[in-house]
Amino acid sequence: MSDLALAPAAAPAGAPGRWRIIRAVAAREWLEMRRDRRLVALFAFAALLMLAALGFGAAENARIGREREAAAQADRLLWTGQGAKNPHAAAHFGQYAFKPASPLALADPGVDPYVGTAVWLEAHKQNEAQFRPARDGGTAARLGGLSLAFILQVVAPLVVLLTGFASFSGERESGALRQVLSLGVRPQDLLAGKALALLGAAAALLAPAFLAAAAAVALFADPAKLSLADQYLRLLGLALGYGVYLTGFAFLALGVSALARDSRAALVALLAFWLANAFVAPRLSADVARALAPTPTAQEFRAAVAKDKAKTFGHDETHPAFIAFREETLKKYGVSRVEDLPVSFRGLTLRRDDEAGYAIYDSHFGALQGAFEKQDALRAAGGFLFPLLALQPLSMALAGTDSRAQFDFASAAEAHRRLIQNEVSDNIIHFQRDERYVAGPELWKRIAAFSYAAPGAGVALAGAREAIAGLLGWLALTLLFAVVAVRRLRPI
Amino acid sequence: MKSFLAGFFAEARILARARAVGLALVALAAAALFALHAGAGRVASQQAVVAAARAEEAQRLDGLKTSLARLESGATQEEPPPYRDPRNAVFMGAGPAARVAALAPQPLALVAVGQSDLLSAVIRVTSGSKDAFLFADEIENPALLSSGATDLAFIVVHVYPLVILALAFNLLAGEREQGTLVMTLAAARRPGAALAGKLAARLVAPIAIMLLATALGIGLFAGWDALASASFLRLVAVILVYGLFWAALAAAVDGLGQSSAFNALTLIGAWVALALLAPAGINSLAAFVYPAPSRIDMTLAARAAATDADKSRDAMLARYVEEHAGQKPAGAREGTLRRLATQEAAFERVEGVIAAHDAALSRQRALVDRLSFLSPTLLAYGALADVAGAGEARYRDFLDRLSAFHLDWRAFFLTRAKAGQAMTAADYDALPRFAETPAPESAVGSALLGMALPTLLLAFLAWRGFRRVARPEPRGAKRPRPR
């Protein structure tokens, strides 16, 4: 008798007929959702929350932008206003590189509160970025702030689950499911119709958020400094990513609802999964990543750098490497005394020492970033089961607020430091004749101010391959689960 | 009392047979134990960082003393540059001789991460301005930092309430829907007491399991002595009162007389609002109203001070050369004096910027503190961080003591530098030390009060709701019908 619902003969109208059924089911579901005042209120509340979060994000982004712009200008004035001094003394004074806020940080601040915002570009040394904003946030700030990403990652799935948990079980309890199946509606069509309605609801949740985000980007992003097209491409990627994330939740809700004994059991199971995905998995996966791919302590890292740097001579004229370089240089120029060199030997030593340092810093900072990326990949590996683990890195990457974006900024800052070092060393090589040599503001002005342009959306997407694969895996898994679950539906 | 006990034991027997309840309680206990185990690992890492910093300090200072001895004995003939000369007070105080100020983990540090993963427990204090040493960070993947840690505080503020709600949300509604409410009320001599007993059975289980697992975990991973401390009593009080808040909320909603589904959705909504959205909203609002000033201002002030000191030094030198034609100020001595002038100028300006910054942050945090009474989760989280010694009060105390030590440290080196005295072996033996005083007692009173008041209000509402159900009906009236 149950074949009544499953036999192809029960759906004689063929494909166009099936589509009509699917549309009819979706329309009825949609109507019921719209009639449910609690659901309408829930969606309205979620929409308001998202708009409030975007408002906070936009205000914060604008403030950060103003602050860093002003700081960059003030630092430039300090650099150019140094007065006459030896170029190497100016290199020790250095410059600061300030990280510009990514426009889409207004939607997903990502790791920005947990990374430094400024790097001191000084002689001899590659510094880490300083001043993590979260340091000043206090204990309460560890419970997070209201961001669009937080609402979409944590609250929106809950809204989808609450909308969909009774889709099948509620109808089973009221007897409507039996009637519908007895009419010959295929369970798969029923699933498709309900999914269409639920996805419509999810789209209704996402659309205002992304339209508002697009408007905010247009208002706050400066087209002279970055490509708006790239920002919109990133925003489109974000919309697709969040769409896949919520679609998976819709299929999960439908599948569980089809399988569950009753609506209560469906709700409990779905809430348990939501809790695990939103709260437990991110923390546990962080613990696992730390255990499997440990990073050095700050002291270990600095000690390892110092150990390698000890092989270079710095300002130590008794260092064997210094003596060897002096011999090599004298030989190269065919003279027997430093004083007879046609160029400044001090400048040559500075350049040689810097070049030795560059390789050391590249190796250590590269290895550290490699360890971070290994940890990130380990976390994203569970993304097909707990999709937040995949969505978060994708969202941060597209918003330009992940640790790769930070590394890119830090690398650009280091490139600028090297430019400064090379310029001042060259100046010393060619112009310094004695210890009293000083250069003036014309040299400081000739050395350009740091400017940074984040890489395009393509680079961000390439870095988030595991995350994208995880999200697609989540979608495939939940779709399969829902299809298998509804195949068990019987009219009687 | 008899009716209460009868209700209590009858409900306890029902719960004992429910496999899902047992599973939830075991999961809660396991999560608490796991979190404490992870916390113990974290504390061990922090202790290792402190020990490594102290070892590095000892090795560094020994190296300086050895170099000094070689210079004084004439074993080293060559004059070192001032920044490497152990006799030079200006340069040594500004880095090579720096002392470590450490914030050792407290006995209950395994309970909460709090601020401990962001604020380094080890600071190398120098005679420079604070911008040079106060903001050094520990290395950590920022993505892991932003996810938060699996600590007991997380289990208590987020998971524990859900288990309480799952057990307490439908005592009346469930009995009404199963049709057993009328029987329960009819069978008891005092129906109100019987219902209270049944509710107590549902609430005692998660709260007792949470407290027992906490005690067991702390005993196992922090030592049984920790259970005899006042901090442990505070921890128990926070867990108990926070649990009672959610229990009272569940009972109050159940007392409204609605269906199980209504109760479940209302309570989930309340949990999302109070445990997720309120803290996030309060944080964002406070940051919006009183934005944290940029720390970059401090750095720029120090750099401006350095530039000004340089220019002033250059002008002085120019005058000197003008007045003493043919003479040249000694290079090394000039380098030292220049460094001293820079340090002095930067110190004053940076202190001023930091004071203004701290005042602005205090306004932001005061707003968060006031608004946190809207979210028991925020109160409980802050209280747990304080009990663990990883909250704001302890860091404030640490920074205040650090400021005092910084002044001592500067005075020690700068008095010698200004007097042109060389550092001696005796000076190295007499270097000031950062006094590690016991942490101030964590004050959780206001958090407890902030959770207890709404708990009492909700308990009153629950009592009224339950009494409505349990009281004998007036003649002719009907008992609430099973829905």
pLDDT in tens, chain A (492 residues): 333 344 444 444 455 578 888 998 899 988 988 888 888 998 999 999 999 999 999 999 999 999 999 999 999 999 998 888 889 989 999 999 999 999 999 999 999 999 999 999 999 999 999 889 998 888 888 888 999 999 999 999 999 999 999 889 888 888 888 888 888 888 889 999 999 999 999 999 899 999 999 999 998 888 888 889 999 999 999 999 999 999 999 999 999 999 988 887 888 899 999 999 999 999 999 999 999 999 999 999 999 999 999 999 888 888 899 999 999 999 999 998 988 899 999 999 999 999 999 999 999 999 999 999 999 999 999 999 999 999 999 999 999 999 999 999 999 999 999 999 999 999 999 998 887 888 988 999 999 999 999 999 999 999 999 999 999 999 999 999 999 999 887 765
> Can you spell out the DSSP letters for B120-187?
-SEEEE-SS-GGGTTT------HHHHHH----HHHIIIIIHHHHHHHHHTTHHHHHHHHT-HHHHHHH
What is the C-alpha separation between B392 and B384, in angstroms, rounded? Answer: 11
What is the C-alpha separation between A135 and B138, in angstroms, rounded? Answer: 12
State whether residue B292 sits within 8 Å of chain A by CB.
yes
Contact A81, B307 (CB under 8 A): yes
Q: Which of A304, A298, A299, A295 is nearest to A371 (CA)?
A: A295
State whether residue B52 sits within 8 Å of chain A by CB.
yes
CA distance A376 to chain B (A): 8
Three-state SS for A96?
Answer: strand
Least confident among B59-73, B269-283, B413-427: B413-427
Burial environment of residue B74 by CB neighbours within 10 A (0 to 12, 13 to 18, 19 or more): exposed
Query: Which residues 395-434 of B have a C-beta within 8 angstroms of A?
Result: none
Q: Which of A128, A142, A379 sits opposite B148 (nearest CB)?
A: A142
- Interface contact B150-A74, CB threshold 8 A: no
User: What confidence category does residue B170 fall into, taking pLDDT thresholds of 50, 70 and 90?
Assistant: confident
Q: What is the pLDDT of residues A92-150, one digit of tens each?
A: 999 999 999 999 999 999 999 999 999 999 999 999 998 899 988 888 888 889 999 99
Q: Which of B412, B397, B405, B410 is nearest to B434 (CA)?
A: B405
Q: Which of A115, A140, A280 sits opposite B378 (nearest CB)?
A: A140
Residues in A closer than 8 angstroms to B321, CB to CB, are none
State whether residue B365 sits within 8 Å of chain A by CB.
yes
State whether residue B455 sits within 8 Å of chain A by CB.
no
- Interface contact A139-B142, CB threshold 8 A: no
- Interface contact A297-B147, CB threshold 8 A: no
* pTM for this prediction: 0.89
Amino acid at B76: T
What is the C-alpha separation between A301 and A288, in angstroms, rounded? Answer: 22
Whether ipTM exceeds 0.90: no
- Interface contact B139-A59, CB threshold 8 A: no
CA distance B307 to chain A (A): 6
Mutation site for A-interface testing, chosen from B46, B54, B113, B141 by largest number of A Cβ within 10 Å: B141
Q: Which of B144, B280, B287 sits opposite A143 (nearest CB)?
A: B280
Range of A357-366, B65-74, B116-125 with top mean pLDDT: A357-366
State whether residue B174 sits within 8 Å of chain A by CB.
no
State whether residue B79 sits within 8 Å of chain A by CB.
no
What is the C-alpha separation between A76 and A83, in angstroms, rounded? Answer: 13
Q: What is the pLDDT of residues B335-388, one digit of tens each?
A: 777 778 888 888 888 888 889 998 998 999 999 999 999 999 999 999 999 999
- Interface contact B365-A138, CB threshold 8 A: yes
Q: Which of B136, B137, B283 sits opposite A144 (nearest CB)?
A: B283
What is the C-alpha separation between A32 and A17, in angstroms, rounded? Answer: 23
Amino acid at B84: R
Taking 80 as the threshold, does the pLDDT of residue B190 lie above it?
Answer: no
What is the C-alpha separation between A418 and A409, in angstroms, rounded? Answer: 14
Residues in B closer than 8 angstroms to A392, CB to CB, are 143
What is the C-alpha separation between B124 and B99, in angstroms, rounded? Answer: 6
- Interface contact B52-A299, CB threshold 8 A: yes
